[in-house]
């Protein structure tokens, strides 16, 4: 069953809006089975990652989905998303190499941290104009990956 929605008029951003974290579609069966959806096994999806563990207020641990519809993807075996309520501490963790991407939503850094981030030789920065302007930051100092990892990540984010 696919979700259906009728619009009174065309809206070019409709599909993009459905992908926003505030408008994700929740499986009715998951709500009926798990109730409050706070357990990792309540997360339903078909994406490249599966939620393995959620440590409330600390981190989310994802593992590679072996049944992902694109053979061979994703390349990484897992992802850890660290939750930090203090933006200054999160930026300090990022700038010292404890985090691989910018600590704010969208892999960005706060404007007040921008000058420090731009001086870090090992960070890749891409200014991207979309609906709003944002600058994702990624660590770029692995000799095994090459110097274009930031460009390839940005292209992947932009689906090019």
Could you report the per-residue pLDDT of 3-22, keeping only the tens digit for each? 667 788 888 888 777 777 77
Query: What is the per-residue burial (b if ≥16 Cβ within 10 Å, else e) of 93-109?
Result: ebbeeebebbbbeebbb
Q: Read off the CATH number of the domain in which 36 is found.
A: 3.40.190.10
The values of phi and psi at residue 75, to 5°, are -75, -35
pLDDT at 29: 86
**28 & 79 share domain:** yes
pLDDT level of residue 127 (50, 70, 90 thresholds): low
User: 135 lies in a domain?
Assistant: yes
Q: N- to C-terminal Cα distance for the chain? A: 29
pLDDT at residue 125, rounded to an integer: 65
In a domain, 142, yes or no: yes
Per cent of the chain over pLDDT 70 is 71
Q: Which residue, 83, 117, 150, sits at the end of a domain?
A: 83
Radius of gyration of the chain (CA): 18
Q: Give the range of the structural domain holding residue 136, as residue numbers without chain letter.
A: 104-160
Residue 76 lies in a domain: yes
Give residue 45's pLDDT.
Answer: 75
| CA dist., res. 49 & res. 24, Å (int) | 16
User: Per-residue pLDDT for 130 more than 70?
Assistant: no
| Tens-digit pLDDT profile for residues 61-115 | 999 999 998 988 998 899 888 888 899 999 999 888 888 888 887 777 888 888 8
Same domain, 110 and 156: yes
Q: Which pLDDT value is given to residue 114?
A: 82
- pTM, entire model: 0.61
Q: Is 63 helix (H, G, I), strand (E, B) or coil?
A: strand
Do residues 79 and 108 share a domain?
no
Q: Are residues 78 and 123 in the same domain?
A: no
Query: What pLDDT was estimated at residue 86?
Result: 92
- Residue 45 and residue 78 in one domain: yes
* E strand segments, 6-160: 49-55, 59-64, 78-82, 123-125, 128-129, 133-134, 137-139
Give the whole-angstrom CA distance, residue 30 versus residue 120.
Answer: 44
Q: What is the DSSP letter of 148?
A: T
Residues 108, 160, single domain; the answer is yes
Same domain, 67 and 110: no
Pair (109, 61) in one structural domain: no
**Same domain membership, residue 116 and residue 74:** no
Partners of 55 in the β-ladder: 59
Mark which of 34, 50, 83 sits at the end of a domain: 83
Residues 119 and 160 occupy one common structural domain = yes
Residue 5 lies in a domain: no
- Does any domain span residue 1? no
Query: Quick check: is 31 in a domain?
Result: yes
Domain total for the chain?
Answer: 2
Res. 145 pLDDT band, cuts 50 70 90: very low
Instruction: Give, in order, the Cα–Cα distances in Å from 152 to each of 7, 19, 80, 83.
Output: 36, 22, 20, 26
């Amino acid at each position: 069953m696919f979700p259906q929605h009728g619009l009174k008029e065309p809206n070019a951003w409709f599909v993009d809006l459905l992908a926003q974290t505030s408008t994700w579609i929740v499986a009715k069966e998951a709500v009926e089975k798990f109730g409050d959806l706070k357990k990792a096994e309540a997360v339903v999806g078909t994406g490249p990652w599966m939620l393995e563990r959620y440590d409330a207020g600390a981190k989310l641990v994802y593992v590679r989905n072996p049944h992902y519809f694109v053979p061979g993807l994703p390349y990484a075996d897992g992802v850890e998303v660290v939750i930090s309520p203090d933006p200054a501490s999160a930026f300090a963790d990022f700038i010292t190499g404890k985090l691989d991407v910018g600590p704010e939503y969208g892999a960005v850094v706060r404007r007040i941290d921008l000058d420090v981030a731009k001086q870090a030789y090992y960070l890749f920065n891409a200014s991207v104009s979309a609906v709003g302007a944002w600058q994702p930051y990624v660590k770029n100092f692995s000799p095994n990956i090459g110097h274009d990892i930031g460009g390839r990540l940005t292209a992947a984010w932009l689906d090019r």
